């Protein structure tokens, strides 16, 4: 696609003409410049709509089944089935995307997902046997990883301008934070205020609309490129990628366990209703840090930046163990969230350097799957610790998970440095 290549050269030239370091105005203008190529605002907006269901479907299933009289054990296990199926199936869908193109794969995958969600709603409404709920939830795991598809388009549009690509990845990470704040509120509100099935139904409708709007935009769709020689198997064979997946699995465990521990801590202080606000503060810290990070010119090797981000995460998690009250906890959560978005932004940038273009979407999706598995593990581990040792002890899990992420990355650093450019 020479059109995109020429566009990349123009953005690279504009980057070289930008103002000197330390001038915030030109830096902030990068957020405008990433949308200069035609179609970028449209595919990013459509991707936002299509990604909302990712944050809605899990909590929507739990709320729906509990509203229809099911116990929370059933609701949680059905939701976990969908999440784990998505973590396993998602990279396979993305592998097909790399081989056959986004439009040819995401439309049928979305049709299967929407049909499975519809079947789940009918089975729940008409009290079908429990096994039908699990089957439908597992098939709903075919939901395409829209975050990976959006980032693949940004990588194509700005492949010759690393600075603008860094800003684009930062923007998408900020949008992810918005999605995970808005989505659950929307799903719970619909399922409790309209009808039990309204939350998952809205997720299915948003997915269908968003994917359709995304797929019809052919101008920015990355071309199908020849597969590298080792591409007969999983992208996890790419040197260094598996180590990144292990690292972000621990990051996901830290993120998920913070959520559970915060709900439990607020409940132990007789203000469980404030847990949503506290988690919103955590997301705000991450979102603001991600926005600022995207406006700053990256310095040093990307592996060093990633190590610094993960180590900062490990350090800022520690004060959560000593929160004396909810007000102090809110401040600590804000600080703890500051390292999250930069860690994920840098990880995606590292993936872009490690993975060949013919396996980029699958590689991004493995990172998303690692995060999802980590979040599920964090939920389980923190719940067990809280039951055994009490609500404040729940924050031991994110501290341990963040430390594990830092140690994993530190040990992996020599191999990552050999696998990709600095």
pLDDT digits (tens, 9 = 90+) for 113-165: 999 999 999 999 898 999 999 999 999 999 999 988 999 999 888 988 888 88
Whether pLDDT at 110 is above 90: yes
Residues 176, 180: Cα–Cα separation, whole Å: 6
Question: 370-381 burial, b if ≥16 CB within 10 A, otherwise e?
Answer: bbbbbbbbbbbb
Q: How far is CA 20 from CA 116, 195, 278, in A?
A: 53, 56, 39
259 and 374 part of one domain: yes
**Is 286 inside any structural domain?**
yes
Q: 73-77, 159-163, 203-207, 285-289: which range is least confident on average? A: 73-77
**Is 228 inside any structural domain?**
no
The pair of three-digit structure tokens given for residue 281, joined into one six-digit string: 């503060």
243 and 111 part of one domain: no
Q: Under a CB-based contact definition with an 8 Å cutoff, are residues 386 and 260 in contact?
A: yes
**Is 144 inside any structural domain?**
yes
Residues 162, 223: Cα–Cα separation, whole Å: 20
Given 168, 198, 223, which residue is the final one in a domain? Answer: 223
Q: What is the pTM of this model?
A: 0.80
**Is 242 inside any structural domain?**
yes
Mean pLDDT of 319-344: 93
Query: Over pLDDT 70: what percentage of the chain?
Result: 90
Given 171, 204, 223, which residue is the final one in a domain? Answer: 223
User: What is the tally of structural domains in the chain?
Assistant: 2
The residue behind tokens 């949308």 is 35
309 and 177 part of one domain: no
Mean pLDDT of 264-271: 84
Q: 63-67, 124-128, 169-173, 295-299: which range is least confident on average? A: 295-299
192 and 250 part of one domain: no
Given 172, 199, 223, which residue is the final one in a domain? Answer: 223
125 and 218 part of one domain: yes
**Is 18 inside any structural domain?**
no
**Is 399 inside any structural domain?**
yes
How many residues can be counted in the chain? 422
Mean pLDDT of 351-364: 86
Among left, alpha and beta (phi > 0; psi -120 to 50; other), residue 300 is: left
301 and 187 part of one domain: no
Q: Under a CB-based contact definition with an 8 Å cutoff, are residues 243 and 367 in contact?
A: no
Whether pLDDT at 233 is above 80: no
239 and 215 part of one domain: no
192 and 256 part of one domain: no
**Is 257 inside any structural domain?**
yes
pLDDT of residue 205: 96
| Distance, CA of 156 to chain centre | 20
298 and 165 part of one domain: no
Q: How many CB atoms lie within 10 A of CB 211?
A: 28
Query: Over pLDDT 90: what percentage of the chain?
Result: 35
175 and 242 part of one domain: no
Domain harbouring 361, CATH code: 1.20.1250.20
185 and 311 part of one domain: no
- For residue 71, count CB atoms less than 10 angstroms from its CB and return exposed for 0-12, middle for 13-18, buried for 19 or more: exposed
Could you tell me what percentage of the chain is helix, strand and coil, using 3-state DSSP and rounding each to the nearest 5?
A: 85, 0, 15
The residue behind tokens 């194509």 is 156
pLDDT of residue 49: 95
Secondary structure (DSSP) of 168-188: HHHHHHHHHHHHHHHHHHHHH
Residues 203, 188: Cα–Cα separation, whole Å: 11
Q: Under a CB-based contact definition with an 8 Å cutoff, are residues 304 and 414 in contact?
A: no
Q: Under a CB-based contact definition with an 8 Å cutoff, are residues 178 and 383 in contact?
A: no
Give the structural domain span for 320.
Answer: 234-422
Residues 169, 290: Cα–Cα separation, whole Å: 9
Phi, psi (rounded to 5 degrees) for 355: -90, 135
The residue behind tokens 């797929």 is 215
**Is 246 inside any structural domain?**
yes
Helix ranges (DSSP H) in 68-145? 72-100, 102-125, 130-139
120 and 240 part of one domain: no
Q: How far is CA 88 from CA 81, 299, 350, 408, in A?
A: 11, 35, 22, 22
């Amino acid at each position: 696609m020479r059109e995109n290549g020429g566009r990349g050269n123009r953005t690279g030239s504009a980057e070289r003409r930008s103002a000197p370091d330390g001038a915030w105005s030109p830096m902030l203008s990068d957020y405008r410049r990433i949308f200069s190529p035609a179609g970028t605002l449209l595919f990013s907006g459509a991707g936002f709509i299509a990604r909302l269901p990712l944050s809605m479907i899990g909590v929507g299933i739990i709320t729906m089944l509990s509203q229809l009289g099911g116990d929370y054990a059933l609701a949680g296990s059905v939701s976990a089935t969908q999440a784990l199926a998505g973590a396993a199936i998602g990279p396979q869908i993305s592998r097909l995307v790399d081989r056959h193109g986004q439009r040819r794969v995401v439309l049928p995958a979305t049709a299967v997902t929407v049909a499975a969600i519809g079947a789940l709603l009918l089975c729940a409404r008409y009290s079908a046997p429990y096994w039908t709920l699990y089957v439908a939830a597992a098939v709903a795991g075919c939901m395409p990883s829209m975050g990976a598809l959006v980032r693949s388009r940004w990588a194509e549009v700005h492949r010759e301008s690393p600075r603008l690509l860094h800003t684009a990845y930062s923007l998408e990470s900020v949008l992810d934070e918005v999605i995970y704040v808005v989505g659950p509120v929307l799903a719970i509100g619909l399922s409790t205020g309209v009808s039990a099935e309204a939350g998952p139904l809205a997720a299915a409708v948003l997915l269908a609309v968003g994917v359709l709007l995304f797929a019809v935009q052919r101008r920015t769709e990355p071309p199908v490129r020849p597969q590298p020689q080792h591409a007969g198997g999983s992208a996890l064979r790419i040197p260094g990628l598996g180590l990144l997946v292990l690292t972000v699995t621990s990051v996901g465990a830290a993120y998920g366990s913070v959520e559970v521990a915060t709900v439990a801590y607020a409940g132990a202080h007789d203000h469980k209703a404030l847990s949503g606000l506290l988690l919103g503060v955590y997301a705000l810290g991450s979102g603001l840090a991600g926005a600022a990070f995207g406006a700053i010119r990256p310095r040093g090797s990307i592996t060093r930046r990633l190590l610094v981000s993960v180590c900062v995460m490990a350090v800022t998690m520690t004060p959560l163990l000593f929160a004396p009250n909810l007000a102090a906890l809110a401040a600590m959560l804000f600080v703890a969230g500051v390292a999250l978005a930069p860690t994920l932004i840098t990880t995606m940038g590292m993936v872009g350097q490690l993975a060949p273009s013919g396996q980029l979407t699958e590689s991004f999706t493995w990172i998303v799957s690692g995060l999802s598995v980590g979040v599920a593990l964090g939920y389980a581990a923190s719940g067990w610790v809280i039951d055994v040792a009490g609500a404040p002890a729940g924050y031991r899990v994110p501290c341990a998970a963040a430390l594990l992420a830092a140690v994993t990355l530190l040990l992996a650093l020599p191999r990552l440095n050999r696998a990709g450019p600095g």
